[in-house]
Structure 1
Amino acid sequence: MLDPSAAQPGDTEFARLDRRSFLKSGLGGTLFLATVSTTAGLSGCATAPAGRLDDVDRQMDTSYQFRFLTRDDIELFEALLPAMFGPALPEQPQARRLAVAGTIERIDSGIHNFGPANQQELRRLFDLLTFGFTRVTIARVWSRWPNVSTADANAFLERWRTSGIGLFNNGYIALTKISNVAFYGGHDQWHLSGYPGPPQWAVDALPQFKTA
């Protein structure tokens, strides 16, 4: 489970993340990721943003339009988030799915506002993890992400966290940082990070806190 103390709720933390390169992979790593991403696109993997989803089981907000994450990326995070946050997620299945769905939407929204350089790095990383050949040979995840158990997702994260290969370490950091900020940035999770929420005057004054 990730450390909630590392996250600060709100878009400002996504802005801080965008100020630095995620992967710092060097020339060799950059060329490798670029090759994987190009190959994935040529092989027919989903490369376009998912747009609006009407999948009832996913509990996505049907009014939300994905502007960066593809359907394959969404499946990736649906597998990884339960491994990352474990007991911090609600126990009730529907509430759990809603928490995961909301986190994925915030990941998409945050990355959409990143600069082109970080967007490109993350696109290449996600392509590496969702393209079947590299998912198996590089990430050593044998099943497609919708079929990956939480235990197997956790094992993948641990392999990359402890790997002696810098690209994998940085990939782990990128995945967990954006997920951490998105998860604890949801108002239902503010209390888990020790954030009490915005002051009442801000809630009363600012339009983003008003509900229709």
Structure 2
Amino acid sequence: MSAATTGLSRRGVLKFGLGATAFLSTAGVTASLSGCSSSTAAPGFSVLRSSDLPFLRAAIPVMLDGALSAIAVSTAIEQTLQSLDHGLARLSSEMLKLTRQLFDVLAMGMTRGPLTGIWGSWENADAEQIRHFLTRWENSSLNLLRQGHSSLLQLVLMAWYGRSESWAHCGYPGPPKV
């Protein structure tokens, strides 16, 4: 099917992409300026905020599906959150700012619904809805959403597979003893 038959032109796609980018950027800045985005860490964390935790607690088990075996899911979620927090605390201020903007967009109902398809709270989203959102972002025509998916996946997987509890499941014996 050509662009002419679908009614889309290169210019139209570029305009849409620019509009979506502007929308996402505005939403992140709006969250920061409106106070929706606190920089105060949640109790027990150095960097992760209370507003970040509902999304992460809902998404981590979906992202780690198949990677958890002998460990309880709730334990794996909390261990991954601690590792993620530890990793985020070591990011440059600019990278941390971008990561927080991504979490803000996912936390705000105004942006969460249209961008993820999750119209209610993350606590009420089921695994299938979260899988659909992740697949939608992974295969999006918008580079910004694909980058968001990649960032989320890398953050969570690095946090989980950096933990010794994850190694036995994938056959990694751990680092050599020196």
User: 1:192 Cα deviation (Å)?
Assistant: 3.3
Of 91, 97, 101 in structure 2, the residue corresponding to residue 124 of structure 1 is 101
Paired residues of 2:45 and 2:85 also in contact (CA < 8 A)? yes
Tell me if the contact between 1:81 and 1:100 (Cα under 8 Å) persists in the aligned partners: yes
Q: Does 1:181 align with 2:153?
A: no
For 2:61, the equivalent position in structure 1 comes to 82
Residue 149 of structure 2, aligned match among 169, 172, 185? 172
Structure whose alpha-carbon radius of gyration is higher:
2
Among candidates 132, 139, 150, match of residue 116 of structure 2: 139
In the alignment, the residues of structure 2 paired with residue 151 and residue 91 of structure 1 have an alpha-carbon distance, to the nearest angstrom, of 23
| Cα drift, residue 106 of structure 1 | 0.8
RMSD between aligned residues? 2.3
Matches within 5 A, 1:21-170: 32-52=23-43, 65-90=44-69, 95-170=72-147
Q: 3-state DSSP class of the match of 1:39?
A: helix
**CA offset digits 1:156-177 (Å, max 9, x no partner):** 0000011111010000000000
Q: Which runs of 5+ in 1 are unaligned?
A: 1-25, 53-64, 202-212
Contact 2:37 2:104 in 1 (8 A): no
What 5-or-longer segments of structure 2 have no aligned partner?
Answer: 1-16
**Is the Cα contact below 8 Å between 1:103 and 1:179 reproduced in 2?**
yes
Q: Normalising by the residue count of structure 2, what TM-score does the alignment of the two structures yield?
A: 0.80
Q: Distance in 1 between matches of 2:114 and 2:140?
A: 15
Question: What percentage of aligned pairs have identical amino acids?
Answer: 35
Comparing both chains, which one has the higher relative contact order based on Cα–Cα distances under 8 Å and sequence gaps of 6 or more? 1
Q: Does the aligned pair in 2 maintain the 1:72–1:130 contact within 8 Å? A: yes
Separation of aligned partners in 1, 2:136 and 2:64: 17
C-alpha separation in 1, matches of 2:21 and 2:140: 18
Which SS does the other structure have where 1:49 is aligned?
Answer: coil
Question: Contact 2:112 / 2:119 at 8 angstroms: preserved in 1?
Answer: yes
CA distance in 1, matches of 2:141, 2:18: 18
CA gap of 1:117–1:41, structure 2 versus 1, over 3 A, is closer
